[in-house]
């Protein structure tokens, strides 16, 4: 039998060990040969009573093992044992004699011809020792020759976003609700990034189904072909982030503008990645009326540049139409007409010219702009202040466009302000 193999201990195994009145007992482990790991699947909680460890279904790899390997758990060994463990780990190949292991663990074990996998727990390891690399849980491979330290992975009581508690404004963001219009290549990545920033509620809006030609640049995989992009994305995010507040809306913001308007009344921000002039105009108009900011993101000029535009409902900044009218006066390319061609992100008829990872770059930047906008405006977080309102991102720039699209370098992000509302604009001056 192998003596390689990290030991993975699910939190339920720890709970079962903690519930025992004994100070040591048997473990049942499975070996996952493809990954060379041992996983604790059973715990003896009292003499002769073995209890199955609960491992959630989504942990495919941890549940994949087979075979039944015997191990032991030992609670509260001599305080020196884990110090020795840390020392042995620094000396590859080093080993503790069986007699020493027996003395320090307090348990007499005979591995026989096999290797016993032993997990020891010493809750008394001081903070100073922990800082020096001594762990409260230690793994061992024990044979008749001696005990060698094994790597051990302990499932913490809480993991996921809560690990960021105290270092990132999680509670503020968990109260935020963002409507994501367009769940395509940029939108699906932006939604994933918003979830990763800890935004509590997402309204995922898209009328389309995932098709084969979308796969190359979409965050969803083959299993979602044929499904509503919004529904499949909501399910994927729910699975990934273990939150039940990602909602799918299989609707078109132009055709179903009334429903969309109702959705935005509860939203704190709208992030729009939809292609086409009409949906982007609807988002700009409806968000302004709802007095919430909108972030509009796209790629232009066949994927040569990206754009993230922040539209804030204040007298200082105009709506999408005001911004575009100003740009037209400046002689810039018509970004909205470019959207209508949809050749940046591709359709089944037109080739996709934007590179998948360039679209992701734009999607994550759009999500960052959305979260930073909320943190700065709602919570006064000065560290989240954006440079300005309009970002142009160099993806594969030819350097042949006029301002504000005149970026010349890949990965360059140039921020500029946007003009005030035009006096005649009906969106900005209701």
Residues near Zn ion, by CB under 5 A = 318-319, 322, 421, 425, 427-428
Residue that the structure tokens 């300005």 belong to: 388
DSSP class of 209: B
Number of CB atoms found within 10 A of residue 236's CB: 20
Those residues with Cβ within 8 angstroms of residue 396's Cβ, 6 or more apart along the chain or in another chain: 303, 304, 355, 358, 410
Largest distance between two CA atoms of the chain: 90
Q: Report the alpha-carbon distance of residue 25 to residue 48 in Å, rounded.
A: 9
Q: Report the alpha-carbon distance of residue 271 to residue 292 in Å, rounded.
A: 11
Would you give the distance in Å from CA 292 to the centre of its chain? 25
Least distance in angstroms from the C-beta of 264 to Zn ion: 17
Element containing residue 121 per DSSP (H, E): strand 116-121
Structure tokens at 278: 């009409």
Nearer to Zn ion, 293 or 318 (CB): 318
Number of CB atoms found within 10 A of residue 166's CB: 8
Nearer to Zn ion, 86 or 425 (CB): 425
* Omega of the bond leading into 404 within 30 degrees of 0 (cis): yes
Nearer to Zn ion, 322 or 370 (CB): 322
Least distance in angstroms from the C-beta of 419 to Zn ion: 9
Nearer to Zn ion, 201 or 427 (CB): 427
Least distance in angstroms from the C-beta of 156 to Zn ion: 50
Least distance in angstroms from the C-beta of 316 to Zn ion: 12
Least distance in angstroms from the C-beta of 377 to Zn ion: 20
User: How far lies 217's CA from each of 211, 212, 239, 253, 338, in Å?
Assistant: 11, 10, 20, 23, 19
Nearer to Zn ion, 270 or 319 (CB): 319
> Which spans in 55-210 are helix H?
60-63, 80-89, 98-105, 127-131, 170-174, 185-197
Nearer to Zn ion, 296 or 352 (CB): 296
Q: Report the alpha-carbon distance of residue 39 to residue 181 in Å, rounded.
A: 43
Least distance in angstroms from the C-beta of 428 to Zn ion: 3
Q: Report the alpha-carbon distance of residue 272 to residue 280 in Å, rounded.
A: 7
Least distance in angstroms from the C-beta of 400 to Zn ion: 29
Least distance in angstroms from the C-beta of 282 to Zn ion: 14
Mapped onto helix, strand or coil, the DSSP state of residue 196 is helix
Nearer to Zn ion, 199 or 428 (CB): 428
Nearer to Zn ion, 351 or 423 (CB): 423
Can you give the length of the chain in residues?
A: 430
Nearer to Zn ion, 303 or 404 (CB): 404
Least distance in angstroms from the C-beta of 288 to Zn ion: 7
């Amino acid at each position: 039998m192998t003596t390689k193999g990290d030991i993975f201990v699910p939190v339920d195994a720890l709970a079962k060990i903690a519930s025992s009145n004994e100070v040591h007992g048997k473990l049942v482990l499975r070996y996952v040969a493809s990954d060379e790991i041992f996983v604790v699947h059973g715990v003896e909680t009292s003499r002769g009573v073995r209890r199955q460890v609960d491992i959630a279904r989504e942990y495919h790899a941890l549940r994949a093992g087979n075979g039944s390997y015997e191990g032991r758990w030992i609670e509260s060994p001599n305080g020196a044992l884990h110090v020795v463990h840390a020392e042995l780990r620094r000396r590859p190949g080093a080993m503790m004699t069986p007699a020493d292991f027996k003395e320090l663990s307090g348990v007499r074990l005979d591995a026989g011809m096999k290797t016993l996998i032993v997990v020891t727990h010493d809750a008394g390891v001081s903070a100073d020792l922990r800082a020096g690399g001594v762990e409260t849980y230690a793994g061992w491979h024990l044979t008749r020759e001696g005990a060698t330290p094994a790597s051990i992975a302990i499932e913490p009581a809480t993991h996921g976003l809560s690990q960021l508690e105290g270092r990132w404004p999680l509670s503020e963001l968990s109260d935020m609700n963002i409507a994501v219009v367009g769940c395509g290549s940029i939108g699906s990545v932006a939604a994933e990034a918003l979830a990763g920033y800890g935004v509590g509620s997402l309204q995922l809006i898209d009328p389309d189904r995932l098709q084969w030609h979308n796969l190359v640049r979409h965050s969803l995989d083959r299993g979602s072909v044929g499904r509503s992009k919004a529904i499949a994305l909501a399910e994927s995010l729910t699975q990934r982030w273990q939150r039940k507040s990602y909602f799918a809306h299989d609707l078109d913001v132009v055709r179903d503008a009334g429903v969309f308007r109702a959705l935005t009344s509860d939203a704190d921000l709208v992030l729009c990645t939809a292609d086409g002039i009409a949906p982007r105009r609807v988002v700009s108009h409806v968000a302004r009326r709802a007095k919430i900011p909108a972030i509009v993101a796209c790629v232009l000029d066949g994927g040569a540049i990206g754009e993230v535009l922040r539209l804030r409902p204040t007298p200082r900044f105009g709506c999408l139409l005001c911004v575009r009218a100003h740009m037209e006066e400046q002689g810039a390319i018509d970004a909205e007409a470019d959207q209508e061609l949809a050749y940046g992100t591709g359709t089944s008829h037109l080739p996709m010219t934007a590179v998948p990872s360039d679209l992701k770059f734009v999607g994550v930047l759009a999500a960052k702009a959305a979260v930073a906008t909320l943190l700065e405006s709602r919570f006064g977080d000065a560290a989240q202040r954006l440079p300005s309102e309009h970002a142009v991102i160099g993806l594969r720039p030819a350097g042949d466009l006029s301002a504000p699209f005149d970026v010349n370098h890949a990965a360059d992000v140039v921020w500029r302000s946007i003009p005030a509302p035009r006096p005649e604009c009906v969106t900005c001056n209701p």
